[in-house]
Amino acid sequence: MTDTLVVSTRRRSWAGWKFVGPFMAIFALVFLAPIGYSIYLSLYKTRLIGGTSFVGLDNYKQAMTDANFWSAFGRVSLFLVVQVPIMLFIALLVALAIDSGRLYGKAFFRVAIFLPYAVPAVVATLMWGFMYGTQFGLVSNINDAFSLSINPLGADLVLASIGNIVTWEFVGYNMLIFYSALRVVPASLYESAEIDGAGALRIITAIKLPAIRGALAIATIFSIIGSFQLFNEPSILRPLAKNTITTDFTPNLYAYSLSFAGQQYNYAATVAIVMGIITMVIAYVVQLRGTKER
């Protein structure tokens, strides 16, 4: 067996590129080139008065001491630490429930809970925005009925309200990833567990959870990346809550405002790159921890 492999490796040393080539070509165009250009931009500064000049790492120094950037970063980190576990936990519970075979109509649940993923973020945010209305929306109905005064877009609740929208959008998607991983657990494991007389809970902790460890890691990484890049939902909700969703609410929103409202492309590129590096480092660390436990 090994002999054949060695021979084929040498023979195939460039054939792979025929397949990977097209993808990588476009990838270079839409990812690598812009990243390169972004790095280039971050080393310059353009002023309304004075034009463009090379400033080296000044933009990066500015980003390090930029209170707006770090408060935005703190905000998405907080978001991350609260929303991601909640969402993944619910997704896990639902996946386990559906997999347990003890539900009535599990096919319905599988589909119903997954449906929100098919809804564009724009539509989801518009819908929830309507429902969050404190004057005439659903929230106002609830407030009137229970004599409350909840303001979902007020300063104390706005991050949670956005978290709610994101959770709503992705819990089904994550649930499905977990469920699919559960589906391929070999039957033999369950059989031996039954022989050993293991209860339902023990089956979950000893068989199911370890089996989906990989899926859990992947879901966590993608959720982390998604949280750091939070943009769509705050951006679309902004007109409804300009005072609480500031232009520097999340790092991505900050970079966007810098580019388009302030025409500060260079600094925006810097912010985005710093954010990208932080995200990559954290994602890498999570991945290491996730795979270490094998």
Partner 1 sequence: MTRFIKVAAAATAAMLALAACGGSDDGKSDTGTSGGGVSAADVDAALAKGGSLTVWAWDNTLKNVVANFQTKFPNVKVELVNAGTGDKQYTAVQNAIAAGSGVPDVAQIEYYALPQFALAKSIADIGGYGASGLKSTFTPGPWNAVTLGSNAVYGLPIDSGPMALFYNKEVFDKHKIAVPATWAEYVEAARALHKADPKVYITGDTGDAGFTTSMIWQAGGKPFQTEGTNVTINLADAGSAKFASTWQPMITEKLVASIPPWSDEWFKALADGTIASLPTGAWMPGNLETGSAAASGKWRVAPMPQWEAGGKASAENGGSSLAVPEKSANKALAYAFLKYAAVDEGKDSRIKEGAFPATTADIAKPEFLNTEFKYFGGQKANEVFAQSAQNVVPGWSYLPFQVYANSIFNDTAGKAYVSSTTLADGLKAWQDQSAKYGTEQGFTVK
Partner 2 sequence: MSTTVQSSGRTGATAPPRIKRRKPYRRDQRRSATLTLLTGLVAIYSLIPLIWLLINATKTQEGLLSSFGLWFDDGKFAFFTNLRDTFTYGDGVFVRWLGNTVLYVVVGAGGATLLSTLAGYGLAKFNFVGKRAVFATVIGAVAVPGTALAVPTFLMFSKMGLTNTPWSVIIPSLVSPFGLYLMWTFSTQAIPDEMLEAARMDGAGEFRTFFRISVPLLGPGIVTALLFNLVVTWNNYFLPLIMLKDPDWYPLTIGLNAWNEQAQTAGSEPVFNLVITGSLLTILPLLAAFLLLQRYWQSGLAAGSVKE
What residues make contact with partner 1 under the rule CB under 8 A?
Answer: 24, 28-29, 32-34, 36-37, 40, 46-52, 130, 133, 135-137, 154-155, 239-244, 246-248, 257, 260-265
49 binds, among partner 2, partner 1, none (CB under 5 to 8 A by kind): partner 1
Say whether residue 70 binds partner 2 (CB under 8 A).
no
Measured CA distances, 175 to 4, 52, 213, 215, 225 (Å): 42, 49, 14, 10, 18
| Residues 169/223, Cβ–Cβ less than 8 Å | no
3-state helix, strand, coil in the chain (%, to 5): 75, 5, 20
Nearest of 169, 170, 63 to residue 124 by alpha carbon: 169
Nearest of 177, 58, 71, 55 to residue 117 by alpha carbon: 177
Contact residue for partner 2 among 49, 67, 184, 195 (CB under 8 A) = 184
Say whether residue 115 binds partner 2 (CB under 8 A).
yes
Nearest approach in angstroms of CB 120 to partner 2 is 4
Nearer to partner 1 among residue 140 and residue 164 (C-beta): 140
243 binds, among partner 2, partner 1, none (CB under 5 to 8 A by kind): partner 1
**3-class SS at 45?**
strand
If binding means CB under 8 A, how many residues of this protein chain bind partner 2?
110
Measured CA distances, 290 to 105, 212, 213, 220, 221 (Å): 33, 11, 8, 9, 9
Contact residue for partner 2 among 52, 53, 149, 180 (CB under 8 A) = 180
The first and second tokens of residue 242, run together, are 């300009």
Nearest approach in angstroms of CB 256 to partner 2 is 5
Say whether residue 204 binds partner 2 (CB under 8 A).
no
| Residues 136/130, Cβ–Cβ less than 8 Å | no
Nearer to partner 1 among residue 22 and residue 262 (C-beta): 262
Say whether residue 108 binds partner 2 (CB under 8 A).
yes
Please compute, for residue 229, the number of CA atoms within 13 A of its CA located in the half-sphere on the CB side.
Answer: 12
Say whether residue 239 binds partner 2 (CB under 8 A).
yes
CA-to-CA distance for 235 and 227, rounded, in angstroms? 14
Longest alpha-carbon distance in the chain: 79
Contact residue for partner 2 among 63, 159, 207, 215 (CB under 8 A) = 215
Say whether residue 197 binds partner 2 (CB under 8 A).
no
Say whether residue 50 binds partner 2 (CB under 8 A).
no
Nearer to partner 1 among residue 133 and residue 276 (C-beta): 133
**3-class SS at 249?**
coil
Nearer to partner 1 among residue 178 and residue 256 (C-beta): 256
Nearer to partner 2 among residue 82 and residue 225 (C-beta): 225
Nearer to partner 2 among residue 15 and residue 155 (C-beta): 15
Say whether residue 76 binds partner 2 (CB under 8 A).
no
Phi/psi at 160 (5° precision) = -65, -40
Nearer to partner 1 among residue 161 and residue 220 (C-beta): 161
Say whether residue 14 binds partner 2 (CB under 8 A).
yes
